Structure 1
Amino acid sequence: MKIHLTVTLVGPFALDDEGNIIDARNFELKPQIVSDKLAKLDVGELPKELEDLLKDHKKDQFIVQNLNLNRVLSSKGVNAVIDYDDPVIDVFHKGFIDNVQNLGLFKSRKDYIRFLRQTIILLTRERVRQAAEKRDGLIVHAIETIDDLDKTINLFSNRLREFYGMHFPELVDAIENHNTFAKVVSETGNKSNISKKLLVDEFSLPEKKAETLLASRNTSMGSPLLDQDILIIQDQATVIVELFKRRQALEKWMEEAMTAIAPNMCGVVNALLGARLISLAGSLRNLALCPSSKIQILGAEKALYRTIKTGAPPPKHGVIFQDSRLNQAKWWQRGKIARAISGRLSIAARMDFFEAEDKSETLAKEVTEKIAEVLAKYPDPPERPIRRDHRKPKPYLRKGTQNRPKSSSSSNKKR
């Protein structure tokens, strides 16, 4: 027998095909108790009233409208089918207040509305608290913080180079890495304090480059600065060094968090790229609901809109291009490699969201084998097709004759 099942704020109701109530189990009608039961149902724990109803109808098939309820029932071994447009449940909810009054659960309509309001407020608070506990939200904020730190570091570093370039411009040209440059300026300050041991041993500069740099101090185009000016520049460099340390600490924490939250995704791509995909999707749940084709072009929305608007070639990949296996591949191999990575990412995201077992090693092996297959199968670029223009050539017109009106004499001749 097919039973239409719905769980309301009053309790679970079982309906037949005509919308009649077959069975109903009422909650204890106190807002706090009801909100607790429904919040636990959200995370997969069945209320006692619903368990009792299911036990009495073990052999029946249940039709539900709620996706989460269907997932919870299926995980408990209940024969449940989802129907988002079930007309029986829709009609029941439209006349629900009348059904509640007929059952005599509340003295008046006002009492029910008061109970409804209090319960929904408590339930909403609990759901917001549960959402805040999900660590994938922290991942989204962490990756956005890293992006903000990168912008700040680049801005401050460029300003430091201009600042210190007035004193020793040769050092600005010699050291390209912002972190190394900031450390040198922070530790030495004046160019006379820079030593070969510091450059070679601590900052791993080539010995010849360090010698050339030290020799250029005497012939430098920079001007000497006062001690108080040097201190200001050193403080600026120290701030940049601290920002780099904060970024590294945040990135390390995020790698550990990603290993705990999305281990299967970390098996397919590195933790930083996985976190960026979650950030672009909004949450791990949103990413799990994305098809592999959408994951493949996440981050390339502008190129996709340009394709829709102008008919330009569609993008082959989005942010997953940061994967070294993809960006180091030949141009004709990248589309196939992007599809292989995004396909496994789609599977991994769903496994992580539904808390399936850790199969990161298996997924990593599958991706590696698929990429190796693509590289072996397509070692050479494809032949580009010759595009022929079959349009008829436009007739040649002398300059200035395109918009010239026809003379009256020619029109008379035609007559």
Structure 2
Amino acid sequence: MKLTIERSQLLKSLAHVQSVVERRNTIPILSNVKLEGRPGSLSLNATDMDLDIIETVPADVSRPGATTAPAHTFYEIVRKLPDGSQVEIEYHSEDGLLSLRSGRSKFSLSCLPVEDFPVLSGGELPHSFALSAAELKTLIDRTRFAISTEETRYYLNGIYLHAATTPAGEVLRAAATDGHRLARVEITRPDGAAGMPGIIVPRKTVNEIRKLIDETECEITVSLSETKIRFAFGDAVLTSKLIDGTFPDYERVIPEGNDKTLDVDVKSFAQAVDRVSAISTEKSRAIKLALEKGTVTLSASSPENGNATEEIEADYDAAPLEIGFNSRYLLDILSQVEGDGARFSMADAASPTVVKDSADGSAVYVLMPMRV
């Protein structure tokens, strides 16, 4: 294999694929990226056996071929080459080395046989639909903060994606929960998503897709089965195994009869929460809200740091109520509200609170209160 490629294009694709590769690997081939030169293009492929990414970039290929090279080392070399430089890549099968030249710099990398590289991306996926980059971004951003990091409840370590029927019509829903908070967002169901199984997309996959979305404006084709999902973004294809488990019936957690409503200006409320929470302990992050007609008083105290209070105007005219929350969880939810106002629906100090964007009903957040 012999080719010449522009450094910035190679770097961009390498950045995407090398982030899938784990830093510590017991299987040597999984530390490598597969490089395949074809007329006019170079294909880069990396996998951790659960997640697989293939990206294709234009290249001047004078001798087609394939090999594998150490992903992180290769990336570091290309990253440190000067801007605008051309990179010459040549694989010598006789000595099993990949040589890389740019200007006066020359590197030789040890390669592993391309035959050892695992194939994950094949197979038929019966359900397929298209989403815009903005739609996929909405589904991910408004839910991923609530993904659980607790490995024992592995079925909560991802975003649950499923089709649902609502009074307003057919929707595609994304939901995530860690037992303390829940996030659910929906978009109009795309053509082809009817009849799809409910699936749980793993956290690492969600994070890798999110990086790719920022760099694309094109439509994304989503194909899935009960065990795999594939996202096709122009020149990149990301295939992932799904979490094999049953996501809990989260609808049961969303309370219907919360009769006390609090309307706040998101920006000023979030800033007040952030300021007052500076006092709360690192472990509990507890903050108390005292609701009275027309105002909400935020307070926090800790034996080590002292105490803090701040009063802000709010639209509230139910019976006085005191309720406590984890301030970080509260700020995570407020950061997802895109409008100017947020509406909190509460029943009492011990029951789940529902938070919605006043201007947009497509997202629902549920936050469990805490004792303060």
Larger radius of gyration: 1
Greater relative contact order, per chain length (Cα 8 Å cut-off, separation 6+): 2
TM-score range, shorter-chain basis? under 0.3
TM-score, normalising length: structure 1: 0.20
Indicate the structure with greater strand content.
Answer: 2
Greater fraction of residues in helix: 1
